[in-house]
Amino acid sequence: QVQLVESGGGLVQAGGSLRLSCAASGRTFSSYVMGWFRQAPGKEREFVTAISRTSSTYYVDSVKGRFTISRDNAKNTVYLQMNSLKPEDTAVYYCAAKEYLSIRNMKGESYDYWGQGTQVTVSS
């Protein structure tokens, strides 16, 4: 069982930056693949990025070069550094966890554990 809590969302102007955090419970965090998803109002949830237990990463093309996922296993925390934010990045951002999953798996239903989400709003 894993519990996830996101934080760090807020309102930022286009071109600005935010750093999201996802704190995980338990002592086996390092064994999980961690992913970030987002959902805008009226739209489907979409995959953003994922990181393996050995810190390999995978990004959707729309955020590649702007977003960086990282993890600190000693702190049981995964981060999403978001730079050069655009209004189309506005969404609720969720972190998710799953053992034995390819970081290229973009299907939300493949993940076992989810956080409550944190709102990111980018103004123009």
pLDDT in tens, 17-43: 999 999 999 777 889 999 999 999 999
Element spanning 78, H or E: strand 77-82
pLDDT averaged over every residue in the chain: 96
User: Is the separation of the CB atoms in 32 and 97 below 8 Å?
Assistant: yes
Torsion over CA of 72, 75, 120 and 1, rounded to 10 degrees?
Answer: 100
Distance CA(84)–CA(16), nearest Å, equals: 5
90 pLDDT band, cuts 50/70/90, is very high
| Mean pLDDT, residues 56-67 taken together | 98
